[in-house]
Amino acid sequence: VLISIVIAGGVWGIALIERLTGAPI
C-alpha cells in the first residue's frame, strides 16, 4: 500500500509518508 502511494504521489507521497511515520526518508 505504501509503495503504491509513493508511486502515485511521487515526491509528495514520500513527503507525506515521512510526516506520518516521523521517519526522515
- Reading the chain (25 residues) residue by residue, the pLDDT tens digits are 677 766 777 788 778 888 888 766 5
Residue 23: predicted pLDDT: 67
Residue 13: which domain range? 1-25
Q: What per-residue confidence (pLDDT) applies to 25?
A: 54
Q: How many CB atoms lie within 10 A of CB 24?
A: 5
Total count of domains within the chain: 1
Provide the whole-model pTM.
Answer: 0.38
Would you state the torsion angle of the CA atoms of residues 23, 5, 14, 8, taken in this order, to the nearest 10 degrees? Answer: 180
Instruction: Give the pLDDT score at 17.
Output: 80
